[in-house]
Structure 1
Amino acid sequence: MLPSDAERRHRAFMDHDTATRAEQYWEERYGAEGRVWSGRPNTLLVREVEQLPPGTALDLGCGEGGDAIWLATKGWQVTAVDVSATALRRGAEHARDAGVGAGIHWERHDLSRSFPDGSFDLVSAQFLHSPVAADGEREEILRRAAAAVASGGVLLVAGHAGWPSWQEAPPFEHHFPTTSEVLDALDLEPGRWAVELEEVVRRDFPDPDGRPGYREDNVLRVRRLA
């Protein structure tokens, strides 16, 4: 069987150096469309953060800024990070339009190579999946994310638990880690962290033709003890 277009594109990207393919992939993704995401915050972020007192937040893989803008409207001082300069530019424009531009600092990082300085009351990694990530790359990024959590602060990790229910032939091979696998990979220091939530959430996710379907997501919330 001949590979699909998606498989050929994926293989071509994976042939590039790890340090360059993430930027190339996401720049092409954002450059191909006028707007990739809805602009609304991720529902799991809203659910888990809405009752927290605002402080400093780090938004990893911020895209076009939906989460960062929502956090800023709630009083958080946000550092928003992405590998794509196009996404960051759009995010800054949307933040200015929303009147919260002063509450967000935008930084460009390939998180496999560099990471923002400082510590934060909230570190959020919402659906930090990449089809061009090297083996172990996401786990290393999440360990650095945990190291950036301030005393008493929270690390919130949400990720897909699998492909949509109607996806019969996945476009490429990908392992979706469980919350237990994420927790093990974080390698948190015993006695210094509390696991506040491990959950699998099912949400409606219709197929491209509007037929009913669902997708399951994992959410993990851990707190660094003061």
Structure 2
Amino acid sequence: MPFRQRDPRFDGSGGHSGSMTHEQAPDMTDFFSQEFWDERYRSTTAVWSGDPNPHLVEEVADVTPGSALDVGSGEGADAIWLAARGWSVTGVDVSAVAVERAAERAAEAGAGIADRTTWQQADILSWEPPARRFDLVSAHFMHLPGPVREALHRRLAGAVRPGGRLLVVGHHPSDLETSAGRPNVPDMLFTPDQVAAVLDAGEWEILVSATPSREARDPEGRPVTVHDTVLHAVRRA
């Protein structure tokens, strides 16, 4: 999926972002394909840090474990972190290479992690998760064109059982006003209100709707303050 989980090319966190700036408008077509992401994962032994996304840790650390769906699971850091805390986790990613790598890392993690994780390759643009199945549905830095993103968020919300939680995290549009190196595709960044808009207010309670800041580095290595979108909601029982 497009520039997700703090993709170093667009996050201003170093990596190999090169000279990409928000004044440039890249062709995003390839970023939606399994082929692109399979090649990306094959190109290196580790695309991501191996650490869980900090907003997942902040929002879920004290939640009673149950069943979880991690969408855009990548190399498995979030799913493995959840499983280590007693969650039964299904990790879904467009890349078969990522899914295989995540399963290997879960097996290496020990303490029954592999037994509490299931991995699935799927085209998330068309994939339909099981309805009202999970106590937690989590998606971090899954950036798609507006209508496609809204449809995905509706499907993810539909996978949350009564009393369960939806956690969506992404890059905030205000990052385009900085030198962080986001691609000049404003429609693919989103606000908490845009996520909340797909939820039926009668069925959902918004626990967190925020745009916390964090310090990063732009493609030239300069310090920059960026903002994340965080929407944490619970389906009313």
Do both share a fold (TM > 0.5)? yes
Match in the other structure for 1:65 = 76
What do residues 178-225 of structure 1 show as CA deviations (whole Å, max 9, x unaligned)? 1111211x1x23422111110111011123454322211010011111
* CA displacement at 1:116 relative to structure 2: 3.1
1:30 is the counterpart of 2:47: no
1:128 is the counterpart of 2:139: no
| TM-score computed with the length of structure 1 as normaliser | 0.85
Residue ranges of structure 1 left out of the alignment (5+ in a row): 15-20
Q: Percent identity?
A: 42
Asked if structure 2 preserves the Cα contact closer than 8 Å seen for 1:109 and 1:115, the reply is no
176, 191, 205: which is aligned to 1:178? Answer: 191
1:117 is the counterpart of 2:134: no
96, 107, 118: which is aligned to 1:105? Answer: 118
Runs of 4+ in 1 over 6 A off after TM superposition: 4-9
194, 207, 210: which is aligned to 2:205? Answer: 194
Match in the other structure for 1:219 = 230
| TM-score computed with the length of structure 2 as normaliser | 0.81
What do residues 20-51 of structure 1 show as CA deviations (whole Å, max 9, x unaligned)? x4212212221222210001000000000001
Specify the SS of the correspondent of 2:212: strand
Structure 1 residues 134 and 195, CA gap change in structure 2 (3 angstroms): closer
The residue type equivalent to 1:174 in the other structure is P
Asked if structure 2 preserves the Cα contact closer than 8 Å seen for 1:10 and 1:172, the reply is no
Asked if structure 1 preserves the Cα contact closer than 8 Å seen for 2:25 and 2:184, the reply is no
Asked if structure 2 preserves the Cα contact closer than 8 Å seen for 1:120 and 1:150, the reply is yes
Match in the other structure for 1:142 = 153
* CA displacement at 1:79 relative to structure 2: 0.4
CA distance in 1 between partners of 2:201 and 2:58 (Å): 27
* CA displacement at 1:170 relative to structure 2: 4.5
162, 166, 170: which is aligned to 1:159? Answer: 170
1:95 is the counterpart of 2:106: yes
In the alignment of these two chains, the number of paired residues is: 211
Q: Over the residues paired in the alignment, what is the CA RMSD in angstroms? A: 2.3
The residue type equivalent to 1:13 in the other structure is D
Asked if structure 1 preserves the Cα contact closer than 8 Å seen for 2:26 and 2:183, the reply is no
